[in-house]
Amino acid sequence: MGQDISRRAFLRGGIAAAAGVAAGSIPGAAAAARPEEKTQLATLLDISKCIGCGACVEACQETNAHKYPNPQKPFPKMYPDRAKVSDWSDKQDVTDRLTPYNWLYIQHASVDMNGEEAELTIPRRCMHCVNPPCVKLCPWGAAKQLENGISRIDPQICLGGSKCNAVCPWDIPQRQTGVGLYLDILPNFAGNGVMFKCDRCYDQIEAGQLPACIEACPEDVQTIGPRDDIIQKARQLAKETNGYIYGETENGGTNTLYVSPVPFEKLEAAIEKGKGKPHLAAVSDRMADANNLAAAMVIAPLAGIAAAARKIYNYAQKSNKSKERA
C-alpha cells in the first residue's frame, strides 16, 4: 500500500512537468541568495521500516551503472602535488560507503530503545538541499538544481575540483580521477576528474517513473511527493510514533526527510562516520553564512558563463571528431 501512496503522490506532484532545466544554471544575485520558488519534490524515509536488505543499493547501482565513470589510465601527473589521485575504479564493489560507483549505502546503528538494544538501518545518499551549497558555490556551474529540487552534477562540465564536497555539510560528492573535461584542457593542472553523487534518478523522474531505490524497496521505506506534503506526512508520522524528524530544517531544509523512533543524537553517536560516511548531526544553514552568500553572488554569473563556455567547447570537440570520421 505504501508504494501505491508514494506513486500517487509522485504523479500528483506533477513530476514530469517539474523536471525542467536547472534553476541554478545562470542565476542572478537574488537566485544565489534563495532557491527558486518552484514545487520541489522530497522523499520521506521511515527508519523504523528499513530492514537493511540492500535492495535499494542494488537497484541504484543497476539503474545508474551507465552513468558511472570509465577512467583513462595512466592518470596525468598533477601539479601541485597536493592534488591527490582519487581512484575507485578497482573498488567498484565497495558498498559500505559513498563512492563514485556507489551513490547509496546503508548505515547501521545499535541503540537503546525502551531499555532494549535495537539495530536500526538507515539508507544514506545525497540530501538534495532546498538551497544547496554545492550548486550555489560551484565555480564552474557543473552542479545544478532542477526545478523539482533535484541537485545533480553535470559530468560534461565538472572538473573535479571538489568544491562541492568541501561545502556540503555531509561531504556527499565523491571524486573519480581520470575522467572528464580536465583531460582535454589542462590535464596536469585543472581539477582532477569528476565529482559523483546521487541524482535521484532524475532521468527516470523525467519519464514519469519512480527513483530506483523507491521502486525496489520491499518494505515501502520511502515516500516521494511535493515537499509540503512530505513535511506534513513526516510530522504526522512522528506524532503517531513519538518519533523524530531529520532534514526539515537541517542546512535550511532538505528534500530528504527521515523519521526515526529514537532521537537523532543517539543515531549520530552510534553510526560509523568518516569519508564517504555522512553524519546525522544538526546542521545550520550554510547559505545563510554571510561569506558563503557573498561568494555565491559573485560565483553565480561567472559559473553560468563558465558552464556555457564548456558546453560550446564540448560541442566543438564533437564536431571536430565527426569531421575526422567523415
Tell me the pLDDT tens digit for each residue of 43-52.
Answer: 999 999 999 9
Give the integer Cα–Cα distance in Å for 300 and 29.
Answer: 7
Return the pLDDT at 105: 98
Give the integer Cα–Cα distance in Å for 164 and 38.
Answer: 23
Tell me the pLDDT tens digit for each residue of 3-40.
Answer: 544 555 455 444 444 443 333 322 223 333 344 446 89
Closest CA to 136 of 269, 276, 262, 304: 304
* b/e burial code for range 44-71 (CB count within 10 A of at least 16 → b): bbbbbebebeebbbebbbebbeeebbeb
96 contact partners, CB below 8 Å, separation of at least 6:
105
Q: Which domain does 271 fall in, by range?
A: 2-325
- Binning pLDDT at 50, 70 and 90, where does residue 326 land? low
DSSP state at residue 99: B
Return the pLDDT at 91: 97
% pLDDT > 90, the chain: 67
CATH code of the domain containing 87: 3.30.70.20
Q: Is 37 helix (H, G, I), strand (E, B) or coil?
A: coil
- 128 contacts 211 by C-beta, under 8 angstroms: no
Domains identified in the chain, total number = 1
In the block, cell 532524475 appears at: 202
- 291 contacts 183 by C-beta, under 8 angstroms: no
- With residue 110 as reference, give the H or E element that holds it: strand 105-113
